[in-house]
Structure 1
Amino acid sequence: MTQSTEQGTIWLTQDAYDKLAAELDHLKGPGRQEVVARISAARDEGDLKENGGYHAAREEQGKLEGRIRQLEDMLARAEVGETPQNDGVVEPGMVVTYKFVGDDDDEAETFLLGAREIEPEGLTVYSPQSPLGSAINGRTKGDTVTYEAPNGKQLEVVIVDAVPYTG
């Protein structure tokens, strides 16, 4: 899992760092080779102006190179850290359960406070820079927090729980 903790630094667990590094290695090696082979094969088919396979492979190459640059940047700015302590304090790397003031407990919602680079299956991720994320970051289980939603409305939530993400 990843979380941006401040402008420019991305906090990663060791597992997340290893997964992103493995993806980068694959893209720079076999991934690039596969795309180059498809471009070469399509080029051999003749007229490039009307060659859909060639243009699709070139577009895929652009996306691959963009992802490589993104991963290189993230890993260069990464700070590998430990899973946060289980102390009820909301911080990047915590799974947070909250509810709106006045809602029943069964209406509580849960999310991971982090960045979307590695979004765990079945768990929504909110950035620490999002309106809710920035309002609750550093707060504690049981706190009531007011924040401004993107539509300008003031919302009030109660932090029901905050536990370290262990996935």
Structure 2
Amino acid sequence: MNQIPMTVDGAEALRTELRRLKHEDRPRIIQAIADAREHGDLKENAEYHAAREQQGFCEGRIQEIEAKLSNAQIIDVKKMPNTGKIVFGVTVTLYNTSTDKEVRYKIVGDDEADIKNNLISVNSPLARAMIGKQADDTAVVTTPSGEVEYEVVAVEYL
């Protein structure tokens, strides 16, 4: 499988979720299954079936996180030389020439992307248009509502 780029923060968030799933959720679900079994007939026991379903989701998520972490290429931009170029993991300030507004995004892996927190996926059209650019460069991004021109204001290796 290909390596998945991930920031240090993204990898730590996955490790934290994995610890919670293994050490809190899994034991709680196992106990819920044991408690539901004590109520007798399992065919009509909604608590038992709900707990078993939760167990399936929990185990599936554990496997998914373990696979992602084993294939993760963790990139720490703070340890990279600041060339001024936009690369995975940088925080970039852009000026939208059509709205006359500045926006600031951090370019992250797919799993870490969260537009509400200004984290955009490296595979998003905006990030793909910006990779390799530097301050004062412009890039045109094709959006559903047409082309948008952005000017790179700043590139920070935070």
TM range (shorter): 0.7 to 0.9
Secondary structure (helix, strand or coil) at the match of 1:132 reads helix
Matches within 5 A, 1:107-122: 107-118=101-112
SS in 2 for 1:108: strand
For residues 102-138 of structure 1, the C-alpha deviation after alignment (integer angstroms, 9 at most, x for no partner) is: 433xx21112111253468962221111111111111
- Measure, in 1, the Cα distance between the counterparts of 2:88 and 2:18: 24
Q: CA deviation at 1:82?
A: 2.7
Two-structure CA RMSD over aligned residues (Å): 2.7
Aligned to 1:3: none
Mapped contact 1:87–1:163 kept (Cα < 8 A): no
How far is 1:16 from its partner? 4.3
Following superposition, the deviation at residue 147 of structure 1 comes to: 2.1
Q: Percent identity?
A: 31
Unaligned 5+ segments in structure 2 are none
**Structure 1 unpaired stretches of 5+:** 1-6
Is the Cα contact below 8 Å between 2:91 and 2:157 reproduced in 1? yes
CA contact (8 A) 2:33 2:52 kept: yes
Equivalent residues of 1:94, 1:164 under 8 A apart: yes
Q: Which residue of 2 aligns with 1:21?
A: 15
Question: C-alpha distance in 2, partners of 1:146/1:72?
Answer: 37
- Structure-2 separation of matches of 1:122 and 1:132: 15
CA spacing shift, 1:121–1:128, aligned 2, 3 Å: closer
Return the alpha-carbon distance in structure 2 between the equivalents of residues 87 and 30 of structure 1: 43
Deviates more, 1:27-36 or 1:123-132: 27-36
Alignment map for 1:1-167 (pairs within 5 Å): 8-14=2-8, 16-83=10-77, 84-104=80-100, 107-118=101-112, 123-149=117-143, 151=144, 153-165=146-158
Q: In 2, are the aligned partners of 1:95 and 1:164 still within 8 Å (CA)?
A: yes
**Residues 19 and 102 (structure 1), Cα distance of their counterparts in 2 relative to 1, 3 Å cut:** closer
Q: TM-score, normalised by structure 2?
A: 0.80
TM-score, structure 1 normalization:
0.77
The structure richer in helix per residue is 2
